[in-house]
Amino acid sequence: MRLTPKSATLLALVVLIALAPVFFPSGFYYRVGALIFVNALAVTGIVILTGWAGQISLGHAGFAGIGAYACALAPVHWGIHPALAILLGAAISAVLAWLVGRPILRLKGYYLAVASLGMGILISMVLNNERWLTRGPDGIDVPELGLRDVLKDAGLSLTNGQFWYFLCGIVLVIGAWLALNLHDSATGRALRALHGSEVAARTVGMDVARLKLQAFVISAVYASVSGSLLALQNKFITPDVAGFMHSVEMVTMAVLGGVGSVAGAIFGAAVLTLLPQVLTVFAEYEQLVLGLVMVLVMIFLREGVVPSILRKIRGSGE
């Protein structure tokens, strides 16, 4: 039997998530795993936007910030259940992405990068300055999701680390599955066509602006859900989640793994999430390393690590 690349990616992902805990030396690694999944989810959104639609966002952390603070604020102020707050955050992010993207994506060129950069800075400015609502730079507590207790009552008892590991893992698999479906759909093909040549795509009658807008909105939802999951599992969030460096991390993870590939996104997220955990000195050099990775990958491995390796393997097999 021959697997399509889509089912191969999903199968590998499920097996990896299910089997990895066997090798965990301590409970701490469940937390690292959950962080990897949260980042990989956001980076999957970047793959849709940058890898397929050919647009760059430097403000995606802003959407993560919206998702995170929706979970922190909505349950306390409006009595909304944290699980619904995830959806609320995603809806707000989608509307904002639509409003910002609509005028910009009609135009060709770098404008989304700049406008999203400005938007991200504005969101993090609001989160830092509106202390009456967000408590400012010191951060704010996030309510308990409550799902773990429900599972406990149903007879499935998990530690906090295990619970978040598997929940984030499941969300990532769903996110990857949706993204891969999109990739193979008419919209996905159209997106990749317009990345190849916008003029050609326009000539064959594609609504280029609408396609790019769709990609931007979808990727904003991914980032927002990722921010929500991060806030809920930490039970605490600071405006750093919406900061510029977080946006850069997302782009770098996508670029490193392979900006056109979902498997690459997950690989890139895993490497750059593990690095600071393994190397404590990394914090000092984080910007240096991220910048260098972006430049070097773009010059020497333009497709990213995972697609380049896959090509090597296939090439030698034939």
Quick count: other Cβ atoms within 10 Å of Cβ 144? 12
Cβ contacts of 21 within 8 Å, gap of 6 or more: 29, 30, 33, 162, 165
- Residue 289 in the binding site for other proteins (CB under 8 A): yes
Angstrom distance (rounded) from CA 285 to CA 300:
22
State which of residues 25, 109, 155, 315 lies at the interface with other proteins (CB under 8 A): 109
Q: Which stretch binds other proteins (CB under 8 A): 65-73, 100-108, 206-214, 227-235?
A: 100-108
Count of residues binding other proteins (CB under 8 A)?
Answer: 47
Residues 224, 59: contact at Cβ < 8 Å?
Answer: no
Residues 50-69 that bind other proteins (CB under 8 A): 50, 54-56, 58
Residues 178, 262: contact at Cβ < 8 Å?
Answer: no
- Residue 114 in the binding site for other proteins (CB under 8 A): yes
Residues 167-226 that bind other proteins (CB under 8 A): 199-200
Give 236's strand partners.
Answer: 141
- Residue 95 in the binding site for other proteins (CB under 8 A): no
- Residue 18 in the binding site for other proteins (CB under 8 A): no
Which of these, 90, 116, 89, 92, lies nearest to 212 by C-alpha position?
116
* First-to-last C-alpha distance (Å) of the chain: 18
- Residue 27 in the binding site for other proteins (CB under 8 A): no
> DSSP label at 67?
H
User: Minimum CB separation from other proteins for residue 249, in Å?
Assistant: 10
- Residue 279 in the binding site for other proteins (CB under 8 A): no
- Residue 122 in the binding site for other proteins (CB under 8 A): yes
Binding site for other proteins (CB under 8 A): 50, 54-56, 58, 100, 103-104, 106-111, 113-115, 117-119, 121-122, 125, 129, 199-200, 244, 248, 251-252, 255, 259, 284-295, 298-299, 302
